[in-house]
Amino acid sequence: MIHKNKTFKINEEHIFLHDKLQREEAIENLSSLVASTQEAFTMSINASWGAGKTTFVKMWQAYLKKEHKINSIYFSAWEDDFSNEPLISILGEINSYISENFEQKPEVKAKLEKVKSFGSKVIKRGFPAFIKGATSGVLDIDKGFESAIGAISEETTKELINNYSKNKELTEAFQDAIKTLLNYIDEDKPFVIFIDELDRCRPLYAIELLERIKHIFGIDGLIFILSIDKKQLSESIKSQYGNIDTNSYLKRFIDLEYNLNNPNRDDFCSFLYKEYEIDKIIQSKEIESSYGNLDHLSMMKYLIESLDLTLREIEQAFIQIGIVFKTMQPRLYESHFRVFIFFIALRIKDQELYLDLVMKRKNIDELIKKLTFPKKINNSKHDFNTVIKSLVYATARDEQELQNIIKEQQKVLDKIQDKSSEEYQEQEWLVTLLGHKYGQWNDYKLNKLIETAIKKIEFLDKFNFEGNSSE
């Protein structure tokens, strides 16, 4: 069976059944906060790309419904940014929600029609016929048309001034219609709109959506939850307005920020190891154990922590490891798997550093400094840093180069006086790893093993692992 990343489906009866990141307490507290007010406000859930924001807000949405009986809608702004007007997207989602949940209540649908009627007028008012000031230098329009706009821009300005009061009254009527609809759905509880992946939208669309929420949907009883990568959204804003203070800019639209952390990557890693049946795949290959005291799960956790992989990157690593392991021939060596784990995790995290290593673009000492970690994360007798050092030394080396490296490292070992020291034990193991011979004829060494693994990893380049990804 091929395992793949797919949209996480929430079990509505057991919402936190597969919660491997200990999100339950945060969702309970945030839900109590939302349920305690009917004031209009906008909250952001801030986390980096791949940190699990989508799963978090979907669990939160399910929890609000189950425990607080709070109605809500969820939609991905990124999937809806084909629309030129964010107001259309928001009203479209509300329309879908009412149609699906209140089909047998004509009075609710009647109030929705009133919202849609006022909404269409607000949208039309938002597109003045003459837009020279808004488009000059931005849109590639015909010069003759631009001249025509300039000739009548004075009249347009007068028209906008005269229509100011009418536009304001229309917006207020639209807001009243929304409020009436929401009160009819539930007078005592807020209505929540979760908007996900705003930071992935076209910059102008993202900014306009924030504008609509602030100026049109500031309605008591309506709460917006924005799932964002604040750093990425800030870059989108700068692309439109230049190098401005984006924190101050976003505070105009967001009343409350919540930073989503990833407290337990170890548990997530253990869950995926079991989910993708890595242990069963390894067993099926009839592995010949050479250094059995280092299990693959521990090494994966070590690399995930050391390379600081995001949740999305961790899942990508497991998917790719699963594919490569499945395509390997039986009766390989345990060391093959450690090699695959290291190179796949490195390539996912830092493609350039991976290429520096496999193409010998930087010297060994520089690479070892970048790829070994001062913190000893594992409790194994043999530190994983020693494994990584051996891989760096042996990568892209021919037989003579490898022999020279082994001699150099043996000299380092001979200079260590205390043979009971940790330094001596690790250096001795490094020499052993570099010089270990595999195969019936003892002609298959670590450099050849790495060469085989890298060729196998190149097979992954034929796959698109990002196209259907979800958090």
Per DSSP, the residues of 165-194 read HHHHHHHHHHHHHHHHHHHHH-SSS-EEEE
**What's the length of the chain?**
471
pLDDT reported for residue 289: 52
Answer yes or no: are the C-beta atoms of 450 and 391 closer than 8 Å. Answer: yes
Residue 183 CB-half CA count within 13 A: 9
- Report residue 222: phi and psi, to 5°: -120, 120
8 Å CB contact between 55 and 175: no
Helix (H) or strand (E) holding 76: strand 72-76
Strands across the sheet with 72-76, in order?
72-76, 191-196, 222-228, 41-46, 256-259
Assign residue 197 a region (left: φ > 0; alpha: ψ between -120 and 50; beta: otherwise).
Answer: left
> How many CA atoms are closer than 13 Å to the CA of 16, on its beta-carbon side?
14
**Which residues have CB under 8 Å from 118's CB, separation 6+?**
170, 173, 174, 177
Contact 16, 59 (CB under 8 A): yes
Reduce the DSSP state of residue 400 to 3 states and report it.
helix
Q: Which of 195, 196, 207, 197 is nearest to 234 (CA)?
A: 207
* CA–CA distance, 37 with 78 (Å, rounded to integer): 29
Quote the CA–CA distance of 416 and 85 in Å, as a whole number.
Answer: 71
Q: Report how far residue 286's alpha carbon sits from residue 270's, in angstroms, rounded to the nearest whole number.
A: 22
Tens-of-pLDDT digits for all 471 residues of the chain?
Answer: 445 455 557 878 888 887 777 889 999 999 999 999 888 899 999 987 767 888 899 999 999 999 999 999 998 888 776 667 888 888 888 888 888 888 778 888 888 888 888 888 777 765 443 333 333 333 333 444 344 445 445 555 566 566 666 777 888 888 888 888 888 888 889 999 999 988 888 888 888 889 888 888 888 889 999 999 888 889 888 988 888 899 898 998 999 999 987 667 888 888 888 888 887 877 776 665 555 445 778 888 888 888 888 888 888 888 888 888 777 766 566 677 788 889 999 999 999 999 999 999 888 888 888 887 765 554 444 578 888 999 999 999 999 999 999 999 999 999 999 988 888 988 998 999 899 887 655 667 889 889 988 888 887 776 766 544 445
The answer to whether the beta carbons of residues 54 and 471 sit under 8 Å apart is yes
Please give the backbone phi and psi of residue 420, each rounded to the nearest 5 degrees, phi first.
-100, 0
Residue (of 208, 246, 241, 204) closest to 229 by Cα position:
246
The domains of the chain are located at 24-259, 265-462
Is residue 327 classed exposed, middle or buried when 0-12, 13-18 and 19+ CB atoms within 10 A define those classes?
A: exposed
Please give the pLDDT value at position 140. Answer: 38
Q: How far is residue 98's CA from residue 25's CA, in Å, rounded to a whole number?
A: 30
Question: CA 91 to CA 116: how far, in whole Å?
Answer: 7
Non-local (6+) Cβ contacts of 466 within 8 A are none
15, 178, 183, 211, 230 from 117: Cα distances, Å: 37, 11, 18, 21, 34
pLDDT for 343 = 92
Domain 24-259 class, CATH top level: alpha beta
d(CA 128, CA 114): 23
Cα-Cα end-to-end distance for the chain:
22
Collapsing DSSP states into helix, strand and coil, what is residue 218? Answer: coil
Q: What is the pLDDT of residue 108?
A: 85
pLDDT at site 257: 93
